[in-house]
């Protein structure tokens, strides 16, 4: 048979089979350029937003440039709203029609907290004439990944008088950094016998912070005293002030391109700042003519520790946001609030695990995320028999699929690991309780929850396109 002639079976196969497509294959120059420039903005966002507080500051700054008004100062004529609670979570909303709030919102939501090491409330101590600070890890980390690397300290200290001191140490070229030490291989025989979870234990995650005794005179705790004296001079704090501080250790340095072809972004905290940034960018870039409904982008805190607390998705944060909007337009009654939530549709935007060629056995390849094959659409999460998942209804998945196809979004259906391999979940189930349709949708990562996560720029691009298509067509 001549090469250019397709067989009957091939032709029917093309028509009937679903084929995953590599996003780089035959990519148009315009898309390639847009994709590359999108990732520049993304890296800039990552560099400026290393804690949830810093992320909210960045989001507020960008939103204001785009004409969003803080809802606390907004008038009824304002249609682009910025909402924030406690400086750690919030939302942007674009109101197409204030009279249609009961019809619900097209909501996209992602989390801006990330796995990291928090300083303990009483952190500073001295041992072997060196000063250290104790940490408590936040979120699911492999503890051994956090040793022997430069760490930066970000956060806030609130003094008794209510003064807020911002801390950002370790990002500039000449800044100091901190580090957690590991034992040398020569003497690691006992360490090697331990299981990976115990190679470095939680109470060993202590950062090195100094070694010069106070006034160069050694006595008990003289190094600790010298450090505390330095902090007092620099920030005006005393030891008790750590109690009311939120100080986070994150890998020092900027987000980077990876690969000779620059096809990946490498950075800490891409789970879930990739979806946070792309959701932000999507709502900012929507043209008024493109949207028919009221739309919203929500930023959650505390996802990595179970969405708990008053800034996490397992609180009434979305109710509060919708209520504040209804209030602005004089429609805040319980019935409208409940109807609005029930009629909303929600994209639970979070990352998924891409197939890593070195660890293929954890995935079932037909239903796992392939890196470079577009945005992940995840009908259910959970573990075991889908336990703990909200599982999206087939009708909603059909609507999403249709919207994505309409805008040539490259998407793939995905799951978090093969059956009974493990699993996980995100904010989806906490929104589903309002009766709204919810589905998980986000970017695949390699090395998720590590100090240096990896995402494909092509997947980043199609995630952004997906979020816009959702606002346009749902």
Q: Which is nearer to Mn ion, 209 or 427 (CB)?
A: 427
Quote the CA–CA distance of 198 and 41 in Å, as a whole number: 39
Apex 428 CA angle, 373 and 392, nearest 5? 70
CB-CB contact of 69 with 80 (8 Å): yes
The region of 204-212, 251-259, 268-276, 458-466 touching Mn ion under the rule CB under 5 A is 268-276
Q: Single out the residue of 184, 207, 206, 210 nearest to residue 129, CA to CA.
A: 210
The region of 14-22, 87-95, 125-133, 345-353 touching Mn ion under the rule CB under 5 A is 345-353
User: At a CB cut-off of 8 Å and minimum separation 6, what does 32 contact?
Assistant: none
How would you list the strands of the sheet with 80-85, edge to edge?
Answer: 69-70, 80-85, 89-94, 294-300, 105-111, 345-348, 437-442, 375-378, 411-413
CB-neighbour burial class of residue 131 (10 A; exposed 0-12, middle 13-18, buried 19+): buried
The region of 3-11, 150-158, 263-271, 462-470 touching Mn ion under the rule CB under 5 A is 263-271
Q: Which is nearer to Mn ion, 104 or 269 (CB)?
A: 269
If binding is defined by CB under 5 A, does position 272 make contact with Mn ion?
yes
Q: How far is the CB of 136 from Mn ion (least distance, A)?
A: 17
If binding is defined by CB under 5 A, does position 350 make contact with Mn ion?
yes
Q: How far is the CB of 142 from Mn ion (least distance, A)?
A: 13
Q: What are phi and psi of 183, to 5 degrees?
A: -80, 145
Q: How far is the CB of 196 from Mn ion (least distance, A)?
A: 19
Q: How far is the CB of 421 from Mn ion (least distance, A)?
A: 17
Q: How far is the CB of 446 from Mn ion (least distance, A)?
A: 14
If binding is defined by CB under 5 A, does position 271 make contact with Mn ion?
yes
The region of 44-52, 214-222, 266-274, 357-365 touching Mn ion under the rule CB under 5 A is 266-274
State both tokens at 295: 């739309």
State both tokens at 162: 């209510």
SS3 21: coil
Neighbouring C-beta atoms of residue 45, cutoff 10 Å: 21
How many residues of this chain interact with Mn ion, rule: CB under 5 A? Answer: 3
- Count the alpha carbons within 13 Å of 461 in the hemisphere toward its beta carbon: 26
State both tokens at 31: 């898309």
The region of 45-53, 193-201, 322-330, 349-357 touching Mn ion under the rule CB under 5 A is 349-357
Quote the CA–CA distance of 283 and 449 in Å, as a whole number: 26
Q: How far is the CB of 452 from Mn ion (least distance, A)?
A: 15
| Residues from 396 through 435 that contact Mn ion (CB under 5 A) | none
The region of 55-63, 183-191, 256-264, 347-355 touching Mn ion under the rule CB under 5 A is 347-355
If binding is defined by CB under 5 A, does position 453 make contact with Mn ion?
no
| Residues from 174 through 203 that contact Mn ion (CB under 5 A) | none
If binding is defined by CB under 5 A, does position 52 make contact with Mn ion?
no
The region of 42-50, 270-278, 361-369, 392-400 touching Mn ion under the rule CB under 5 A is 270-278
Q: Which is nearer to Mn ion, 178 or 452 (CB)?
A: 452
SS3 460: helix
Q: How far is the CB of 307 from Mn ion (least distance, A)?
A: 10
Q: How far is the CB of 189 from Mn ion (least distance, A)?
A: 34
Q: How far is the CB of 57 from Mn ion (least distance, A)?
A: 21
Return the sign of the alpha-carbon dihedral for residues 308, 313, 314, 318.
positive
Q: Which is nearer to Mn ion, 276 or 340 (CB)?
A: 276
Return the sign of the alpha-carbon dihedral for residues 46, 52, 53, 57.
positive
Q: Which is nearer to Mn ion, 307 or 340 (CB)?
A: 307
Q: Which is nearer to Mn ion, 59 or 448 (CB)?
A: 448
Q: Where on the chain is the footprint of Mn ion (CB under 5 A)?
A: 271-272, 350
């Amino acid at each position: 048979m001549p090469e250019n002639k397709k067989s009957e079976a091939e032709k029917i196969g093309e028509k009937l089979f679903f084929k995953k497509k590599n996003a780089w294959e035959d990519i148009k120059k315009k898309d390639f350029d847009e994709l590359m420039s999108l990732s520049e903005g993304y890296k800039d966002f990552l560099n400026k937003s290393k804690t949830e507080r810093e992320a909210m500051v960045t989001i507020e700054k960008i939103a204001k440039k785009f004409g969003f008004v803080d809802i606390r100062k907004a008038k009824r004529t304002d249609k682009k709203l910025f909402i924030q609670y406690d400086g750690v979570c919030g939302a942007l909303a674009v109101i197409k029609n204030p009279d249609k709030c009961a019809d619900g919102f097209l909501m996209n939501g992602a989390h801006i907290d990330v796995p990291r090491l928090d300083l303990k409330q009483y952190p500073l101590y001295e041992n072997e004439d060196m000063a250290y600070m104790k940490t408590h890890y936040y979120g699911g980390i492999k503890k051994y990944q956090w040793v022997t690397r430069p760490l930066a300290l970000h956060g806030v200290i609130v003094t008794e008088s209510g003064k807020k001191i911002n801390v950002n140490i370790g990002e500039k070229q000449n800044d100091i950094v901190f580090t957690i030490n590991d034992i040398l291989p020569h003497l690691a025989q006992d360490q090697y016998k331990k299981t990976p979870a115990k190679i470095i234990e939680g109470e060993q995650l202590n950062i090195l912070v100094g070694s010069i005794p106070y006034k160069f005179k050694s006595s008990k705790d003289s190094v600790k005293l010298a450090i505390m004296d330095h902090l007092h001079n620099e920030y005006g704090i005393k030891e008790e002030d750590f109690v009311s501080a939120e100080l986070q250790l994150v890998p020092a340095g900027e987000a980077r391109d990876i690969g000779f072809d620059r096809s990946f972004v490498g950075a800490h905290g891409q789970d879930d700042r990739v979806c946070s940034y792309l959701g932000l960018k999507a709502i900012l870039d929507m043209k008024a003519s493109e949207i028919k409904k009221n739309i919203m982008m929500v930023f959650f805190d505390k996802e990595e520790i179970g969405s708990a607390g008053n800034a996490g998705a397992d609180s009434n944060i979305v109710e509060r946001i919708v209520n504040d909007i209804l209030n602005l337009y004089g429609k805040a009654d319980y019935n409208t609030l409940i109807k609005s939530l029930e009629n909303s549709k929600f994209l639970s935007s979070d990352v998924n695990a891409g197939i890593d060629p070195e660890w293929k056995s954890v995935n079932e390849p037909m239903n796992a995320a392939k890196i470079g094959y577009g945005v992940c659409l995840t009908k259910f999460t959970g573990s075991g028999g889908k336990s703990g998942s909200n599982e999206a209804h087939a009708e909603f998945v059909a609507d999403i699929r249709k919207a994505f196809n309409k805008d040539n979004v490259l998407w793939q259906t995905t799951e978090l690991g093969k059956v009974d391999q493990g699993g996980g979940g995100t904010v989806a189930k906490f929104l589903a309780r309002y009766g709204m349709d919810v589905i998980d949708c986000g970017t695949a990562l390699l090395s998720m929850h590590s100090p240096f996560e990896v995402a494909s720029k092509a997947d980043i691009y199609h995630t952004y396109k997906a979020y816009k298509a959702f606002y346009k067509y749902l």
